[in-house]
């Protein structure tokens, strides 16, 4: 029986609103707009590891692919980055506009699918935090988009569900992304970090915590130039 459920996940410290039984696989045609109300209620703090990695870089132009409600973009703006973001969900982009507007952050935002979108320019930093397409063929095209978007000398930071997550029913339909997949997708880049890391699970009222059941594939790489 389908029911509206609130399933907590470690996906970039997001709370995932599912319109199906969380014990069933997420369908490939899932409407990502269902994850968002389209306003400030969608804001969740960014993944602490992503923020830590970004703080080590000199600010410039940044693109967050799969930006959701703009949590990571807000952290970037606070640290001096000129920010842009895309997301396949129109409700997410609307929420990001409101979240960033409340913080006085200027941003270039667009509803777009990473598997088909072409970047209008290159960026000093390109990020993707738990926002890759579900299926391998779409992931390959999205990786091409990310590669194309990174400026010479720029960095890419990706944190994605690793294959261990397939044991959770809701994510069983995903083609999960290993560290090896990430390294292969960015062949020719200088790999600075490529490893499996624990990810923070967010509990309202309790802050972020590290839950060893949740792990992610992390890649930090620099484009030569």
CATH code assigned at 140: 3.40.50.150
Compute the mean pLDDT over every residue in the chain, rounded to the nearest whole number. 81
Counting Cβ atoms within 10 Å, is residue 52 exposed (0-12), middle (13-18) or buried (19+)?
exposed
Alpha-carbon gap, residue 17 to 8, rounded angstroms: 8
pLDDT for residue 13 is more than 90? no
Instruction: Tell me the C-alpha distance between 163 and 220, whole Å.
Output: 19
pTM of the model: 0.81
- Please report which confidence band the pLDDT of residue 14 belongs to, taking 50, 70 and 90 as the band edges: very low
Confidence tier at 62 by pLDDT (50, 70, 90): very high
Q: How many residues does the chain have?
A: 225
Between residues 128 and 45, the one the model is more confident about: 128
Residue 18: is its pLDDT beyond 80?
Answer: no
Residue 88 pLDDT > 50: yes
Residue 11 confidence (pLDDT)? 41
Which residue in this structure is represented by tokens 């319109």?
19
User: Is residue 84 within 8 Å of 67, Cβ to Cβ?
Assistant: no
Cα separation, 87 vs 62, whole angstroms: 15
- If you count DSSP H runs as helices and E runs as strands, how many of each does the chain have, helices first? 5, 9
Percent of the chain with pLDDT over 90: 58
Residue 148 confidence (pLDDT): 98
- Assess contact for 125 and 154: CB atoms under 8 A: yes
Q: How confident is the model at residue 172 (pLDDT cuts 50, 70, 90)?
A: low
- What average pLDDT does range 82-110 have in this prediction? 96
- Contact by Cβ (8 Å): 68, 87: yes
At 135 the pLDDT is 76
* Confidence check: pLDDT of 15 > 50: no
Mean pLDDT score, 163-192: 79
Q: Which domain holds residue 74?
A: 5-222
Phi and psi dihedrals of 174, rounded to 5? -80, 145
Number of domains in the chain: 1
Dihedral pair phi/psi, residue 6, rounded to 5°: -110, 105
- Token pair 């930071």 is at which residue? 157
167 vs 3, which has greater pLDDT? 167
- Gap between the Cα atoms of 43 and 69, Å rounded: 6
């Amino acid at each position: 029986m389908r029911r509206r459920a609130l399933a907590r996940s470690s996906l970039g410290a997001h709370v995932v609103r599912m319109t199906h039984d969380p014990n069933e696989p997420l369908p490939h045609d899932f409407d990502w707009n269902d994850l968002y109300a389209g306003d400030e209620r969608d804001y969740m703090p960014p993944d602490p590891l992503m923020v830590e990695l970004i703080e080590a870089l000199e600010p410039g132009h940044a693109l967050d692919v799969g930006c959701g409600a703009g949590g990571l973009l807000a952290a970037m703006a606070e640290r001096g980055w000129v920010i842009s973001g895309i997301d396949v969900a129109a409700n997410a982009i609307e929420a990001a506009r409101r979240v960033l507007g409340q913080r006085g952050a200027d941003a270039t935002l667009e509803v777009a699918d990473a598997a088909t979108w072409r970047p209008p320019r290159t960026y000093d930093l390109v990020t993707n935090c738990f926002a890759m397409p579900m299926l391998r063929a779409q992931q390959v095209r999205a990786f091409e988009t990310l590669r194309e978007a990174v400026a010479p000398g720029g960095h890419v930071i990706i944190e994605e569900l690793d294959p261990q997550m397939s044991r959770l029913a809701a994510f069983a339909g995903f083609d999960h992304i290993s560290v090896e997949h990430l390294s292969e997708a960015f062949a020719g880049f200088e790999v600075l970090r490529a490893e499996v890391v624990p990810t923070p699970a967010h509990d309202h009222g309790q802050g972020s915590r590290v839950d060893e059941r949740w792990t992610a594939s992390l890649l930090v790489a620099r484009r030569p130039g």
